[in-house]
């Protein structure tokens, strides 16, 4: 029987542990489409950093299998228009590189408005980045939203 490998905790794991918030530490590289057995792609959410014409930086979190509707995000956030933050400005804005943006770490450093697609509330469980490429956390959707002061809304294209 192989010994279970101990996963080094990310800063996000440490923040959640300190707040006594239950979560799973996962090794997933969704950017490469590698997902462990037992996890559906629909459970994995991407954290996108955008800029609103009225609010400045804003965070939208949608399933990795969907596309964010900038129109819907603009409307719920009180902006006329939102646009993706260019990749070259991402780390300067959020503190994270592409593929590592996460709501927990961003909320610790900034007071950006955070919106999560309502599908996460419907499923009750979501997987988001843990602040390092290839690392993720699985967490109760409502618990995460409460912790990062996020609201749920329909953010995906279609419908």
CB 139 within 8 A of CB 21: yes
The answer on pLDDT for 123 being more than 80 is yes
The mean pLDDT value for 122-148 works out to: 95
pLDDT for the residue 1: 46
The answer on pLDDT for 113 being more than 60 is yes
Kindly report, residue by residue over 82-98, the tens digit of the pLDDT. 999 999 999 999 999 99
Which domains are delineated in the chain? 11-153 (3.90.960.10)
Burial class (CB in 10 A: 0-12, 13-18, 19+), 33: exposed
CB 156 within 8 A of CB 117: yes
CB 46 within 8 A of CB 64: yes
The answer on pLDDT for 159 being more than 60 is no
Strand order in the sheet with 135-140: 24-27, 135-140, 125-129
Kindly report, residue by residue over 46-65, the tens digit of the pLDDT. 999 999 999 999 999 999 99
Predicted TM-score of the model (pTM)? 0.92
Kindly report, residue by residue over 64-80, the tens digit of the pLDDT. 999 999 999 999 999 99
């Amino acid at each position: 029987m192989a010994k279970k490998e101990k996963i080094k905790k990310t800063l996000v794991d440490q923040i959640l542990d300190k707040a006594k918030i239950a979560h799973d530490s996962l090794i997933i590289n969704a950017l490469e489409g590698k997902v462990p057995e037992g996890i559906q792609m629909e459970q994995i959410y991407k954290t996108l950093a955008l800029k609103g014409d009225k609010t400045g930086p804003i965070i939208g979190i949608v399933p990795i299998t969907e596309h964010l509707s900038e129109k819907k995000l603009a409307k719920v956030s009180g902006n006329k228009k939102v646009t993706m933050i260019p990749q070259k400005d991402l780390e300067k804005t959020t503190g994270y590189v592409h593929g590592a943006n996460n709501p927990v770490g961003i909320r610790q450093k900034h007071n950006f408005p955070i919106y999560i697609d309502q599908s996460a509330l419907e499923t009750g469980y979501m997987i988001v980045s843990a602040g390092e490429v290839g690392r993720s956390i699985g967490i109760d959707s409502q618990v995460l939203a409460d912790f990062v002061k996020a609201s749920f809304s329909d953010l995906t294209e279609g419908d």
